[in-house]
Chains A and B, each alone.
Chain A
Amino acid sequence: MTSFRSILSRTLQIFSGLKLATACFIVLFILTWLGTLEQVDHGLYQTTKKYFSSENFLVLPEINGKMIPLPLPSAYWVSVVLFINLLIGGVIRARKGWKKVGVLMSHCGMLFLLVGGFITHHFSERGNMQVWEGETSNVAKHYFNYVIEITELVAGEIKEIHVIDHEYLEVLKPDQHQFFKLEQLPFDLEVAGYQKNSVARQAINRAPRFGERIVDGFYLEQEDSELEAETNIAGCYARLVEKDSTKGELFILWGGSAYMQPKVQKTIQHGERTFLVDLVKERWVLPNKIKLNDMKAEFYPGTINPKTFESRVTRTQEGVSEDVLIKMNQPMRRDGFTYFQAQWGPQGSDGTGKLFSVFEIVKNPADQWPKYALYVSGVGLSIHFALMLGAFIMNQFKRRNV
């Protein structure tokens, strides 16, 4: 029993120690540095995922594309350790007193910031919504996640939309098959050859090089992930499976279909009934509707430098409407959702003609937390700095008078 207690107290000692704090800072510093350099070769999304997310526990860094055999813990887990260290050593067990009040405050602020980061990492959602002038939207698309959506078409109308979530798809390797039991539909779906980034190639233009399966004149060719991961286009082969296990014909689903004008969708006849199947970026239906009344893009006279771009929208929720101006640096925050002016188009437009606006939509429970953390730690550090400066000047003054 005593040994357990001593182990506990020693563990506590290590976890609350300054050495551990310093070690965490050093590792975080190195990770941030390497994670910055690696973006040049691998893009922001992949690098961030590798270095800073909770998925990886260890990271093998690369410099100029060459692997360095020095495994480092990923920044997420280092931050967890740092949090514990800060909580125990920097706040609970720290010396308290008037002289230390500034340091204590700033430590509390940092704790708060780390918790905010944790919540943002795990519980925030983001997507983008594109609306043309005069049109209305209540849906945002995810930047990276692809899902399969299946819906029945009854008399030209779309019914309920069934979704195969991205987490089931993105773990699939190109050589894996996956059976999805669609409990509310009269058939099931089998997916194979899922690719995170792919091109639908026409066999008459280029014959498959790796024996890819040709379906209806097309096959899916694997591509390396793009540096800007949001431009990846997923693809897969799929087939219907009847409830009695008879398999239907193979077809290809490709994310690029979503960009075709006019709109095209894969239709499936099942007996008398018609269904639509699509591989699309995850859609996120919002509790309110946004109508874009006017999109204004201004340039500095005689240049292509944007001066400002702003959208006048009408937001409708549960029958109540309000007019809001959303512009750069001035988002709309409502009910935990934040709408940002992200882009506008069409590309190459000089701001005249019919325009569309793209809003970035974020739901982040910790949205404003950094601000509070800043207030606490900023005040804390300022107090501490002022105390020290005062002492320093007093000291100098005394010396000179000696």
Chain B
Amino acid sequence: MSKIKRGRVIAVWLMIALIFGVILIVGRSLMPAKVVATLENYEPWETQVVEAFSQLPMQEGGRIKLFESWANQQMLSFSGKRKSKVSNGEGEEITVRPTEWMLDIHFRPELAKQFPSFRVENAEVLEMVGLDHKKARDYYSYNELEAKLDRISELKKELEELQKNPEIELNTVQKQALALSGNLAWFESYLSYFDFAKLRADNEKSGLAWSSIILTAPKIRAAINQRAPNAPLGREELLIGRLVQEASNAARYGWPVMPPTQEGQEAWETAGARLWEVFTTGKNDLVQTSKIFNQLEEIYLHRDASGEKLVPLIKAYHDTLNKEQTVAAKASNLSAEKSYLKGQWFYRALGYCFIPGTLLVVLSWLSPATRWSRVLNLVTWGLSGIGLILCVTGIILRMVITERPPVGNLFETIPFITAAIVLIALLMELMTRRGLAIGLAPIAGFAGLVLARLYELEEGGDSLEPLRAVLASNFWLTYHVLTITLGYAAGILAGFIGIAYLGNRHLGIAEDDPKILRSLTRMNYGVICFTLLLSLIGTILGGIWANDSWGRFWGWDPKENGALMIVLWNLIILHSRIGGAIKEWGFHMLSVAGMAVVVFSWWHVNMLGTGLHSYGFTEGAHIIWFFYGLIGLVLLLSSYAKMLEKK
């Protein structure tokens, strides 16, 4: 085997090793769950019922969203998954998605208690709550944890006490224990949420139900108010008081089912909160409240009925909500959210386009500049193009949902940057037609969307949540945030081109075309200039924004510093090239290192836990170090190869 061919094989193996490395490190959280439990007689929900529930609107976290969104968030934060599998005891595997899981908890609590809903990642957490630790990253059901509830609530108290001390920061184990106890409390509120409907279920003949008692609330309140001042409450009064309290407490937290009926009120309420208000302050529209209670009771009564019976009941409630002003105003946002959830755009772009695209690119390295590789390139082109379209569709739908520019939080930077890199790579391929830039598109898409998925799973939460006051400026979000983010994208692309150059040079993938190295250099020069342009303008724009919102142009905040570092790094590259201090090889080496600078600015400064931009992804440190390590390895290997060249 000639030296050159050996180089190609090495490149292919390196790439395959990298892909497997990524899958090994992050794959566990990306793979769909295995069967985790056996639930005897588990009956899956009918598709039409799930569909009807998932599209119910609700207001939560400050925005109107779909039930499915809420269920997604909840399942993610409880179990770190988007779906689970259970066996029904007869060897049948049933996939349970978030909406179904939520329905089980609300309508079949006894079944839901057996469902392994809680992720307990850490053996130490298990030990803390006094459970036998089978193995780390395990799932537990409510029933399994129930015996330890006392210990857990005790633990919670202790940890909350600790938390009050500003000098103590909880460690990961303690944080997880606290999160577990929080999740358990939420789970319990969901389990008892529909208890209010049991009154009707138990008194079907007499028709006694909260939906009808609500209408008598003014009379009850009047009777109580008519008492002589300071007279003790009578037996009936005490009884009704206790009943109201019990029913409202059981549904106090959880699903906000009640749109506001009071003038000037914007927030939706839970059934329990509304019930309590009706009997205490009494300012709500009773007819509307009773109507919704009635619809919810109907749904509960027919929870086990067939879809034909149940779906119209859900639709009736849905119709009532649709007439609400808060929902009607957001109709187009909700339908965009429906398409966004249904489409799973980023996930599909990854699975259908970028992963196969990456594999094709790797294959094409085996025999470059042949007809075979040209065909592969063409297919890669198509796949990347489709991937880009899917990605952009997802981004646009998010813009419609949130009514703001595409990047408003850390999560949104990921698909945006990914799409930008793929787009620039495709444009460059159009301009150069050398089959070089095209190779970068699917690899960048692959890496970016894996990161996006991982971030979602790690962080949970609602990445569509509305913006905080300081960020709520569409003008600045468009001009500053988009430029700076595009600057990141360009900086990363420069690094990719640098790696491509180094790979080609040392491993001789494209030895047939000597001009290829020069071409890569020219390309990278353009990209570095582009990075400088965007980061410089973006950084100054950020300063101007800061000058308008905080009163200073520059404050040495970590995120600001990160942006400045990108600018300086690119100035170093360009000026040392013009000054002749570096040649081609040095230029690419510095642009690869520049990728680390971008990552420092994009992610690392947020993890320092200081400054004005400190948000999110504190758990992702290991990925960053993996990335730094990778870049260091590339630089080291390349330096070694350069030394060999000289000899």
Q: Which residues of A contact B (CB under 8 A)?
A: 17-19, 21-22, 25-26, 28-29, 32-33, 35-37, 39-40, 43-44, 47-48, 51-52, 113, 116-117, 120, 126, 227, 299-303, 305-309, 328-331, 338, 340, 342, 360-362, 367, 370-371, 373-374, 377-378, 381-382, 384-385, 388-389, 392-393, 396, 400
Contact = CB atoms under 8 A, between A and B. Distances in A.
Contact of A338 (B268, B532, B551): B551
Contact of A370 (B526, B530, B543): B543
Contacts, number: 168
Contacts of A44: 555-557, 610-611
Interface in B500-537: 522, 526, 529-530, 532-533, 536-537
B288 interface: no
Interface of B: 59-63, 256, 266-268, 431-433, 465-466, 468-470, 472-473, 476, 522, 526, 529-530, 532-533, 536-537, 540-541, 543-545, 547-558, 561-562, 564-565, 568-569, 571-572, 575-576, 578-579, 581, 600, 605, 608-611
20 contacts: A18-B578, A19-B579, A22-B579, A25-B571, A25-B572, A28-B568, A36-B561, A43-B610, A44-B556, A44-B557, A301-B266, A301-B267, A301-B268, A307-B472, A328-B469, A329-B549, A338-B551, A370-B547, A374-B540, A393-B431
Contacts of B61: 300, 302-303, 305
B466 A392 contact: no
B552 A126 contact: yes
Contact of A392 (B465, B526, B532): B526
Contact of B572 (A29, A299, A384, A388): A29
B549 A48 contact: no
Given A39-B611, A307-B466, A33 B551 contact: no
B63 A22 contact: no
Contacts of B556: 35-36, 39, 44, 47-48, 51-52
Contact of A329 (B522, B545, B576): B545
A362 B608 CA distance: 29
B469 A309 contact: yes
A329 B544 CA distance: 10
A388 B526 contact: yes
Given A52-B556, A370-B544, 4 more contacts: A328-B472, A330-B548, A367-B547, A381-B532
Contact of A300 (B63, B529, B579, B608): B63
A295 to B, nearest CB: 13
A88 to B, nearest CB: 15
A302 B267 contact: yes
A371 to B, nearest CB: 6
A117 B572 CA distance: 21
A297 B417 CA distance: 34
Contacts of B543: 370
B562 A362 contact: no
Nearest to A34: B561
A36 B529 contact: no
Contact of B608 (A37, A126, A307, A378): A37
Contact of A388 (B529, B551, B608): B529
B526 A381 contact: no
B433 A400 contact: yes
A300 B466 contact: yes
Contacts of B267: 301-302
Contact of B554 (A17, A39, A117): A117
A75 B299 CA distance: 68
Nearest to B561: A36
Contacts of B552: 120, 126, 362
A373 B568 contact: no
B62 A126 contact: no
Given A37-B608, A117-B554, A388-B526, A18 B575 contact: yes
Nearest to A116: B553
A227 B640 CA distance: 44
Contacts of B63: 300
B317 to A, nearest CB: 19
A342 B545 contact: no
A361 B537 CA distance: 26
A168 to B, nearest CB: 27
A92 to B, nearest CB: 17
